Structure 1
């Protein structure tokens, strides 16, 4: 079936008439062109780190140069001033004319016999893309049948088939060499009167004559026919964009731009949620609903926004903006546990990074009772689950990564690095040659900056470490103070259980990981216990420690004096390092 021009409904016919009128008046809107300078010369003269299509727009429309919005402060973005030949009568009319021809923020418009337009350049598209109204567009080189996955993923851009709507279609003519291309039309059935199931839409420009259509028309075609594809993606937010949004919306939201992003508190008070209220066990908590709170604020501003994370680096960045002696919630939460390392936080990409690093031996009733986590200008604070406060939303994604594992001490085997399912990078250090008491083993881990006695999130991670356990004895067997060692290794877990203790059947686990070294409480309690020879039983008011016995391939539970000396394994999260921040994006519709 050849491509056919579809009948438009009444509203779109009116738009078509308006478009025809626009074409008639187009000559009056033409800019004063830059005929005395080539694009190469213009680029050489304006050697700025700005979007390619914004620079080309400035050249095409006769702009003389790209300037900084705030002279000497490149973080505020760049601007270009061009002149349209069309006369305008007042500032409102001038801005409307500028906005009809320039797909960027208009920050100044002057009326007169000719119209002066100054537009701001904040975002930056990848090379080869054309920026229109905060999105980046590119025509595919190859033709293809209709396929929603036709746009090839490249780098961080993750392009998709472009949405077609009248707010941007007038600017497609500025793009080079669009003959015809598949586009995605929301509510396609409502757009065309003679839509047939399976039809898809494509946009025509230079190839309009082939279909007896006008440039800019939208047509229907069989999805098995071949066309180019118009692709789009949303560029990362920049600091210039944050400053601009902060200024425009300052009367609605108190947006503060800081070193690596921007923050704004929610107008209403919120609290963390309890997901499993149960009289038999302490409820489980979540902060996922805070994501929606920040996203809803972002939709008003047409940006993506997420709750701030609770790590110390983020707090130090924003603490000077925490005013009015108020507390602000973060996205961190805790179920059970009495230490800072028992807190969890999940970012929108699913990664979970530690709130506290290094030695964290704080254990007190305030932490035990706390389940949320807040910022105050003075410090970071564990907070009660019922605490109601604004949540701090950020206009960026997480800019901290976990770096490389620290080098192992001389007594350790080569460090073993494991990336857990939640994205956390964990480092394990095995001592196969020396034995220590449980206390001294922990102290040696801390003294050499390799964390504390280790833990695991999964059987996969556990077996990866077990494969490297090769105890070295001083003779056929080892003994210290006449105490047999066997193949025991100290681990960072103890009983009674204090963290993530609730079973699905309503019972309680015997043991749990300490100091945030693992969260796989079920794996810890369900792994083989040596055929029932070492059944795990909680002893009230008595601390028992979990060990691994290599020759029995079993996790054992012991009083601290049962086997005072053992080999040991240390573990810690990889250190947090600043990376180039991947800013939040302008919200997609």
Structure 2
């Protein structure tokens, strides 16, 4: 088994390394992008997974609002992401509201982000008991997240659920006890498990629409799942902005944010312990030492005080104890530095000549950050016992590792996912191949790019299985079974769909050309399943670079399985 290691800031990947949607971060949120474009919004993707700003969408709604607060309330209800601004405008004599929203988190493909959580609904006709729904949600979220039945944890959440999950009817939910006063009795299947009935008629009960009910766990309903995604630098920056509304302005830096303490402190033997208390309101434990490097000091300079500010920096120096009995004040060591865990570290050093002024007594082994309006912040010597506010940083280098089992190959997709592929040498029918992959904790594979197709091709060549077809995890859409003209909604790029979210992209040029130029077959009553067609096949044009072909599902083919790499955090034995 091969183990690969990546280094991460704040639980998010530095862009030069691998990322994944299961355990780490993606470069963007696909569900948010689709929702933005479907609404006709103006979409801007984040610069990368280490960006302090998430994906942005300017959503326009033709609606009359009474004032700015009314516009904000409308946006919070109808655009369930982090609200940056709500603007009231008039366009062509029509009143509109512009909801400027930010997706700070990133969710797995097939999930939609709302109010800081990722949600996914089961297929329209799939229903589950409460126990089955719990298991389904856990499986859907993957091994690195806590998948569970969706919770009513926000007062606005019900409206977005109805808007974005159009086929949702009755489904299991969780909610705090405060919601119990709204529970409606069914008088038929009442029990201990909460559910929501957007549509009141079920074959086992009938209640008014939009009813919150408590029923027997053996009743079968749809499943709405949720998980809390990994925190991102964009979310940290958002929390900093909200913190600034209550306390002091936070300062975004390259690898997180720095936060000013409300209380004052003297020199501490372990400032990180102090910062853990300061940062408790963030409910996030990836704090680290603040290194006042030039870039961070430049950001601090932008936070100009009204007149003057004085803060304790994390820089300290030491002095030979034998000098303390002398009459004259002793100069500190050659430099000031940050102390990590009680031990000196050379990760960040400020030479003595960068400290403005000279110490006047032996206990001036600390350094302050002095900042006058209109000037750059400077370091000044200060006594260890002086009590001042401090800067604390949310940001930490974390190492993650993922294992590549024997026979599997890892591939990094453009959106940041790391997917593992495995090639079977056994030939099976499509349904049996899908079950065989599931037994491995995987699904029939998907392809998201030409490069990924090339890797599968290299896998085939390595196994000496040239000029064959292999099952992939996609099937013809139900509405396209009788379609025979390649017209919307069954164009060549939309006639098939990937199962289990194994991929999201599908291009017309990926179809392999045959001698009649009928790929895929316009009449799909027989050729309902998808294969990876590699090399020159008896029916294909010689040398054609396409790699997809539709085929009857009863054929016996070898197959590709795929699953997302599972990342685990490690502090030791990461190599």
Structure 1 length normalisation: TM-score? Answer: 0.42
The higher-RCO structure (CA 8 Å, 6+ apart) is 2
Of structures 1 and 2, the larger Rg is shown by 1
Structure 2 length normalisation: TM-score? Answer: 0.43
